[in-house]
Homo-oligomer: A and B are copies of this chain.
Amino acid sequence: MVWLCGRQVHFAFEGSPMRELLEHLQQRSLLLSEGDLRRMVQALSRERDIWQAAGACERPFPHFVALLETLRDMRYLRVEGNTLEFTPEGLAALEHWGIALSPPVGGLCPSCSVGPAPLPELQTKFSQIAQARPSAALEFEQGFLTAESVIRRVAWLDRCGDLVQKEIVLLGDDDLLSVALALTGRPTQIVVFEIDQRLVDFLNDQARHNGWPLKAYQHDLRQPLPEKFLEKFDVFVTDPLETVEGFLLFVEQGLSALKPGAGQAGYFGLTKIEASPEKWRLFEQRLLGQYDLFISDIVRDFGVYENWPYLGETASQQSAFFSENPDRPWYRSTFFRIETLKEFQPPRCRSLGEEVDIYYDQDSIIKPRR
């Protein structure tokens, strides 16, 4: 890790596969962290047009210029007109850095240019596997995303540079996102922590059968993640409970699993149906106030949920208006993405006892009956 303020610079590159590049940039008086650099190079590796790469690299233009010139000086990159090309030496360097020259899994939506283009083949494969899933259990507040929404999440991770050659951890996975991620063949490793033994068995069976780099563990998130999984991942994804305690518990466990420093990403769903705007503010303030990270994406109605079997019963307890079941999906969540900055340090989470009610508060649809 390199700090812009000048501390800890000279020995910070040790052990980094990008050390040589970082030192070259330092000679140009540009102190970038490895995480920032990695993201810029990743974008470069996906764009052949120099201007499009400048637009896609998500870092300031002057840094992009310095990176280009440095890669050229190192003979890793050629530019002709507006066209970028890595040299054979450059390609070897990309491999050494763990950055694959692979095309994106999907593209931008051809109709609106805002969302990711649908991936019908992936969705079909996913749906076939998901047919055999265990049903949603009230005991764990389960309710799962439509197949379309699961695939949309995969496409979004890819668009944000968080899929290819990444180590991804999922905290809870009744949506079977891990299956869809594995089907792309892009992540290096996928680890799932899930409280429901039925799901754990289902995922491990699938992984074994298909030879995926996926492993699921039975785990109650009121306990911290096992030591050996802390500070190890590039990306986490979770759908937190939406009580204040529940939200913080899930998201901070996710943060605890990320590598320190810049460029790691966390994703979580959040609804307005069970979390008031005041809670949104609290969550946003907490994340920005406690951790060196920023919120990069908040995409509304990104996740749509299949209607779950125990919905009618619980909603009609609140009002007779809701005695007829919905005829199509209606429950939806916003998808958040956060990205870590240079001085990010993963938190160490405490254990929450079983007596803490993380499931229900005044915004919940379902009222406690345990």
A interface list, Cβ under 8 A from B: 4, 36, 49-52, 54-55, 57-63, 65, 68-69, 79, 81-82, 108-118, 148, 152, 160, 262, 272-278, 280-281, 284-285, 288-289, 292-302, 304, 315, 318-319, 321-322, 324, 326-327, 330-332, 339, 341-342, 362-365
Contacts and interface: CB of A to CB of B under 8 A. Distances in A.
7 contacts: A51-B326, A61-B318, A65-B319, A112-B112, A114-B299, A277-B296, A296-B300
- Considering the complex of A and B, which 9 residue pairs feature the smallest CB-CB distances, nearest first? A114-B115, A112-B115, A51-B326, A109-B112, A60-B363, A111-B111, A281-B294, A51-B330, A55-B330
B65 A318 contact: yes
A19 to B, nearest CB: 22
A61 B109 contact: no
Given A112-B116, A112-B117, A285-B289, A332 B363 contact: no
A61 B362 CA distance: 10
Given A50-B322, A62-B318, A284 B294 contact: yes
A62 B318 CA distance: 8
A318 B68 CA distance: 12
**Stoichiometry (number of copies):** 2
Given A299-B114, A299-B299, A321-B68, A273 B54 contact: yes
Contact of A61 (B36, B274, B284, B288): B274
Nearest to A106: B112
A59 B62 CA distance: 43
Nearest to A69: B319
Contacts of A324: 81-82
A257 B331 CA distance: 34
Nearest to A342: B278
Given A61-B274, A62-B363, A113-B115, A331 B298 contact: no
Contact of A112 (B82, B152, B272): B152
B277 A339 contact: yes
Task: Identify the interface centre among A116, A301, A304, A321: most chain B CB within 10 Å of its CB.
Answer: A321
